[in-house]
């Protein structure tokens, strides 16, 4: 079986209830952050103690674009390069997150489409491992 590793440790998890993004939330004003933030950046927040929080899986696509050419380093991808969609997703928890959109037709995506968080293949590394990342798919 192919070993599966996250592109970056600590950004997402695949638990029994499905994938979640790992972030934080201000205990005082409830502002959510992804990735985790050590401090609250809400200018009207006076205290700003942070706690760990998990976000997802439901969201709505705000906007999207097609990555038609290979992204510059340090981005990695499988050869031959295949265009993919990236989108800004408004999560139900009040957070706007950037991610790949898993769809067979990237140019057909429209804002307002309901999406759900998933974890999927990003590229195969030099040791043959399946490097995975968070993404969203229309639902």
Which of 37, 133 has the CB closer to Zn ion? 37
Rounded CA gap, 66 and 81, in Å?
A: 13
CB atoms within 10 A of CB 125: 13
| Closer residue to Zn ion (CB): 93 or 102 | 93
**Beta carbon of residue 32, minimum distance to Zn ion (angstroms, whole number):** 10
Smallest distance, Zn ion to C-beta of residue 24, A:
10
Rounded CA-CA distance 12/54 in Å is 8
Q: How far is the CB of 59 from Zn ion (least distance, A)?
A: 22
User: Which CB, 55 or 136, lies closer to Zn ion?
Assistant: 55
53 versus 131: smaller Cβ distance to Zn ion: 53
Please report how close the Cβ of residue 96 comes to Zn ion at its closest, in angstroms: 17
Site residues (CB under 5 A) for Zn ion?
Answer: 26, 28-29, 31, 40, 42, 45, 48
3-state secondary structure 30-66: CCEECCCCCCCCCCCCCCCCEEEEEECCEEEEEEEEE
Query: Are the C-beta atoms of residues 42 and 26 closer than 8 Å to each other?
Result: yes
């Amino acid at each position: 079986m192919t070993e599966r590793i996250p592109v970056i440790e600590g950004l997402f998890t695949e638990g029994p209830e499905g994938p979640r993004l790992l972030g934080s939330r201000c205990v005082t004003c409830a502002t959510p952050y992804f990735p985790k933030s050590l401090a609250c950046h809400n200018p009207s927040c006076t205290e700003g103690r942070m706690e760990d929080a998990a976000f997802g899986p439901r969201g709505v696509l705000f906007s999207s674009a097609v990555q038609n050419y290979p992204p510059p380093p340090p981005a990695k991808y499988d050869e031959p390069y295949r265009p993919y969609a990236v989108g800004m997703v408004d999560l139900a928890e009040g957070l706007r997150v950037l991610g790949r959109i898993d769809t067979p037709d990237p140019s057909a995506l429209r804002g307002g489409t309901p999406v759900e968080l998933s974890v999927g293949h990003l590229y195969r590394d030099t040791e043959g491992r399946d490097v995975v990342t968070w993404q969203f798919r229309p639902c």
